[in-house]
């Protein structure tokens, strides 16, 4: 498992271990208070093969090994949003450990949107599948470190960031400075809302460590990376660095998004992630089945 450790800077600053899911380019996180050893995991990926629809838990098993080996106590299983490009493993981790899971409160609105797309009225019940739905501005503690939840829509209408001491987990908003920002064209997304979220993140203190949701490497940087700072993003981000205004960003983002294909896991993922990573209920034969809408999105068969 490719991983990198970002050490604590001192009291009130968490330790962060980022680890990478190569098939989806996803960055996942284990974060803990070095004083109390209380820990949270963020955006852990459930293994999924879109060819066979087979699932697995290698990422989750790896991070549980890290938790045990470091003597940590898992206090929270957190997701930043219902992901479109991978399946979350929140439900499995909750069942395995007994730790509570959480996500942003606007997941309820996202669920209503996707119930229409899947033609599943009343098919998703986030309040039952997640132990806590975090409101914008809500606070809690990870050991002795304060945590603040910030609503950062754009990629989805209900994405949230977790600001844990001097570390902010900002999901699909920023990417690494040499790449730019995340797409905003999924149902409920908005490039204007994404710009406002980016500016909200850039209003955090300059030294705040920013941990993003994805990296695929670049031609000049083969290894994935996921950590930067507010100051680095403000100065060097390929899409907003140096003070790009809202209208120019929206043009750039919308034009780029129009060229991007639908993620190959998206139609599988949303119906699972709106259940916190739980597969659809088994049918009479004991098997779960995905529901895939035909011809609901652009891009004809080739």
**How confident is the model at residue 297, as a pLDDT?**
87
CA–CA separation, 268 vs 249, rounded Å? 30
List pLDDT tens digits, range 65-95: 999 999 999 999 999 999 999 999 999 999 9
Mean pLDDT of 47-74: 97
Residue 33 CA to residue 15 CA, distance in Å, equals: 6
Cβ distance 211 to 226 under 8 Å?
yes
**Res 299 pLDDT > 90:** no
Residue 254 backbone dihedrals phi, psi, to 5 degrees: -65, -40
For 218, which DSSP code?
B
- Contacts for 36 with CB less than 8 Å, ≥ 6 apart: 73, 143, 144
Tell me, what's the pLDDT at 219? 84
Report how far residue 151's alpha carbon sits from residue 61's, in angstroms, rounded to the nearest whole number: 29
Tens-place pLDDT, residues 35-46: 999 999 999 999
What pLDDT was estimated at residue 221?
85
> Does residue 301 register a pLDDT over 70?
no
Q: Taking 90 as the threshold, does the pLDDT of residue 300 lie above it?
A: no
Q: Phi/psi of residue 49, each to 5°? A: -105, 110
Residue 220: band (very low, low, confident or very high) from pLDDT cuts 50, 70, 90: confident
Query: Would the pLDDT of 47 be above 80?
Result: yes
Q: How many alpha carbons lie under 13 Å from residue 86 in its C-beta half-sphere?
A: 26
Decide if pLDDT at 175 tops 60: yes
Q: Which of the 8 DSSP states describes residue 75?
A: E
Question: What mean pLDDT comes out for the span 135-140?
Answer: 98
The pLDDT of 95-107, averaged and rounded, is 98
How would you classify the pairing of strands 101-104 and 209-212?
unpaired
Q: Does residue 123 have a pLDDT over 90?
A: yes
What's the pLDDT at 222? 85
Give the E-state strand segments of 53-208 in sequence order. 54-56, 73-78, 87-88, 101-104, 132-134, 139-142, 145-151, 160-164, 167-171
Residue 61's φ and ψ, nearest 5 degrees, are -65, -40
Query: Which pLDDT value is given to residue 293?
Result: 94
Domain 3-262: CATH architecture, name and number where available: 4-Layer Sandwich (3.60)
Question: Does residue 302 carry a pLDDT above 70?
Answer: no
Average pLDDT, the chain: 96
pLDDT tens, residue by residue, 243-296: 999 999 999 999 999 999 999 999 999 999 999 999 999 999 999 999 999 998
Q: Which long-range contacts (CB under 8 A, 24 or more apart) does 203-207 make?
A: 204/163, 204/168, 204/230, 205/166, 205/230, 206/230, 206/231, 206/234, 207/166, 207/231
Label residues 248-261 b or e (16+ Cβ within 10 Å = b): ebbebbeebeeeee
Percent of the chain clearing pLDDT 70 (strictly above): 99
């Amino acid at each position: 498992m490719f991983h990198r450790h970002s050490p604590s800077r001192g009291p009130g600053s968490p330790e962060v271990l980022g680890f990478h899911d190569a098939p989806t380019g996803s960055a996942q996180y284990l974060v803990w208070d070095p004083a109390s050893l209380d820990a949270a995991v963020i955006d852990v990926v459930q293994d999924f093969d879109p060819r066979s629809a087979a699932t697995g838990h290698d990422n989750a098993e790896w991070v549980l090994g890290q938790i045990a080996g470091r003597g940590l106590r898992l206090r929270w299983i957190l997701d930043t949003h219902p992901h479109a490009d991978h399946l979350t493993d929140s439900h499995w981790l909750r069942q395995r450990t007994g730790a509570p899971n959480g996500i942003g409160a606007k997941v309820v609105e996202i669920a209503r949107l996707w119930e229409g797309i899947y033609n599943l009225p009343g098919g998703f019940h986030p309040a039952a599948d997640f132990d806590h739905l975090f409101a914008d501005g809500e606070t809690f503690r990870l050991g002795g470190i304060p945590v603040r939840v910030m609503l950062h829509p754009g990629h989805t209408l209900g994405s949230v960031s977790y600001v844990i001491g001097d570390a902010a987990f900002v999901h699909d908003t920023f990417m690494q400075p040499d790449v730019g920002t995340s797409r905003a064209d999924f149902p409920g997304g908005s490039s204007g809302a994404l710009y406002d979220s980016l500016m909200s993140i850039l209003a955090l203190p300059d030294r705040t460590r920013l941990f993003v949701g994805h990296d695929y490497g670049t031609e000049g940087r083969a290894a994935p990376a996921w950590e930067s700072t507010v100051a680095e993003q403000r100065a060097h981000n390929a899409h907003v660095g140096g003070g790009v205004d809202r209208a120019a960003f929206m043009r750039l983002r919308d034009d780029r998004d129009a060229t991007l294909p639908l993620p190959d896991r998206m139609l599988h993922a949303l119906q699972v992630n709106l259940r916190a990573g739980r597969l659809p209920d088994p049918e009479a034969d004991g098997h779960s089945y995905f529901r895939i809408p035909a011809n609901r999105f652009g891009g004809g068969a080739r």
